[in-house]
């Protein structure tokens, strides 16, 4: 079984620039998550999709962050404009069925550095 694919692996941008991350979940996984992990912290959920609908985006800074999963498969997360405090690893995860408490399967993440 192929894992969760994310790209790019690393990205360095200047503040006020924009950036986009891409995620392809495990085939057949209906639920997709974007997490932000700041150095020294645990992953923090930004947004959760069930198929192509948003289940939870309560911690997504909507003035600068946006995410979509148009066809219910792959997803993009965008930051525009970026701030220094957005430097973090952005992790995408997927699971089979949210209500089953099926474990999250994470991708390797995108490490973003904002200078």
| Distance of closest approach, residue 23 Cβ to other proteins, in angstroms | 11
Of 16 and 44, nearer to other proteins (C-beta) is 44
Residues at the contact surface with other proteins, assessed by CB under 8 A: 4, 40-45, 48, 55-56, 91, 93, 98-99, 101, 103-109
| Distance of closest approach, residue 95 Cβ to other proteins, in angstroms | 10
At 100 the three-state DSSP class reads helix
What's the CA gap between 23 and 33, in Å, rounded?
A: 10
| Distance of closest approach, residue 96 Cβ to other proteins, in angstroms | 12
Of 44 and 83, nearer to other proteins (C-beta) is 44
Of 68 and 98, nearer to other proteins (C-beta) is 98
CB contact at 8 A, 109 and 89: yes
Q: In terms of Cα–Cα distance, which of 80, 85, 105 is closest to 94? A: 105
- Burial classification of residue 111, based on how many CB atoms lie within 10 Å of its CB (0-12 exposed, 13-18 middle, 19 or more buried): middle
Of 64 and 105, nearer to other proteins (C-beta) is 105
CB contact at 8 A, 19 and 82: yes
| Distance of closest approach, residue 16 Cβ to other proteins, in angstroms | 28
């Amino acid at each position: 079984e192929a894992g969760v694919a994310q790209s790019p692996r690393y990205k360095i941008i200047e503040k006020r620039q924009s950036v986009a991350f891409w995620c392809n979940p495990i085939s057949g996984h209906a639920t997709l998550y974007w997490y932000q992990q700041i150095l020294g912290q645990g992953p923090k959920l930004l947004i959760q999709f069930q198929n192509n609908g948003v289940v939870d985006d309560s911690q997504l800074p909507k003035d600068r962050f946006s995410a979509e999963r148009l066809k219910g498969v792959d997803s993009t997360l965008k930051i525009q404009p970026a701030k220094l405090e957005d430097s973090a690893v952005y992790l995408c995860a997927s699971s089979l069925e949210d209500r089953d408490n099926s474990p999250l399967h994470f991708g390797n993440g995108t490490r973003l550095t904002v200078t």
